[in-house]
């Protein structure tokens, strides 16, 4: 961001990818800041078999699957999800958590916690995967317990997958999710809040279906085509720059 702040005087516009990214950079005049929201393009192969994908991870059709697509960094707070699974083990015996993330960063510590809590049979670490859209589609609930977020691509992808997003009320999450409308927002510092919402959704499949449907409708705002059109509209205002950019392609 510092480089953008230093150079902005020489440009008519600066881009930001969610409305919060430059709130603390008042040196940039607001009329020079344009917000372009990230877009996603979800395509699931026609041959996709949800039941088979579950089986490939050792999951059954009867399992209630929480899932996240994340990184093993402290700010992502995956530990909260691990402790959630332990806390709900008796109430929801068929609860499973799938963590799609590369095995780096805090992975060893989180894996040790799983063993300490004796829930190895309830938590699946997939490692880095190339089939994220297909994996999202096998979740019943998409969970994100980050302490901070911008505009999460994983969350936008989850909106397209027919799952309920249950995410921490931080950063860009609250601009995408409207609580109790197209998902659930919870206080990241209140584990009982997350536990309550997961328990309620487990016992209320009708509510799950309703929230998932509205989440998918919300996703239409975040298509890749919409993002491209937003950039094109801005470049249309900059004919000189547009010619230069096109000339380098």
Q: Report domain extents, the chain.
A: 2-37+223-240, 50-222
CB 145 within 8 A of CB 80: yes
pLDDT: which is higher, 166 or 213: 166
| pLDDT at 61 > cutoff 60 | yes
pLDDT: which is higher, 53 or 19: 53
Q: Which residues contact 16 (CB under 8 A, 6 or more apart)?
A: 22, 33, 34, 35, 36
Q: Which of 218, 208, 211 is nearest to 160 (CA)?
A: 218
Query: Mean pLDDT score of the chain, rounded to an integer?
Result: 84
Beta pairing partners, 141: 66, 164
Mean pLDDT, rounded, for 92-108: 98
| pLDDT at 179 > cutoff 50 | yes
| pLDDT at 25 > cutoff 90 | no
Instruction: Quote the pLDDT of residue 48.
Output: 79
Q: Which of 92, 95, 98, 110 is nearest to 56 (CA)?
A: 98
Least confident of 18-32, 46-60, 76-90, 226-240: 18-32
Distance separating alpha carbons of residues 140 and 136, to the nearest angstrom? 9
Class of domain 50-222: alpha beta
Distance separating alpha carbons of residues 215 and 161, to the nearest angstrom? 9
């Amino acid at each position: 961001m510092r480089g953008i702040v230093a150079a902005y005087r020489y440009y008519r516009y600066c881009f930001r990818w969610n409305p919060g990214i430059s709130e603390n950079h008042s040196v940039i005049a607001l009329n020079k800041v344009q917000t372009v929201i990230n877009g996603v393009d979800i395509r699931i192969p026609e041959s996709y078999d949800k039941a088979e994908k579950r089986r490939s991870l050792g999951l059954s059709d009867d399992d209630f699957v929480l899932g996240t697509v994340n990184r093993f960094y402290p700010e992502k707070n995956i530990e909260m999800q691990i402790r959630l699974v332990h806390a709900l083990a008796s109430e929801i015996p068929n609860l499973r958590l799938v963590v799609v993330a590369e095995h780096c960063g805090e992975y060893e510590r989180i894996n040790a916690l799983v063993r300490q809590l004796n829930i190895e049979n309830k938590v699946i670490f997939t490692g880095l995967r190339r089939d994220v859209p297909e994996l999202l589609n096998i979740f019943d609930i998409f969970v994100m317990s980050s302490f901070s977020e911008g505009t999460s691509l994983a969350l936008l992808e989850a909106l397209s997958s027919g799952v309920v997003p249950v995410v921490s009320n931080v950063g860009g999450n609250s601009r995408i999710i409207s609580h109790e409308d197209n998902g659930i927002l919870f206080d990241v510092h209140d584990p009982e809040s997350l536990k309550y919402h997961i328990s309620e959704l487990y016992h209320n499949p009708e509510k799950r279906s309703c929230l998932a449907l509205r989440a998918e409708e919300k996703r239409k705002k975040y298509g890749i085509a919409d993002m491209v059109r937003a950039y094109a509209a801005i470049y249309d205002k900059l004919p000189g720059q547009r010619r230069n950019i096109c000339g380098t392609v």
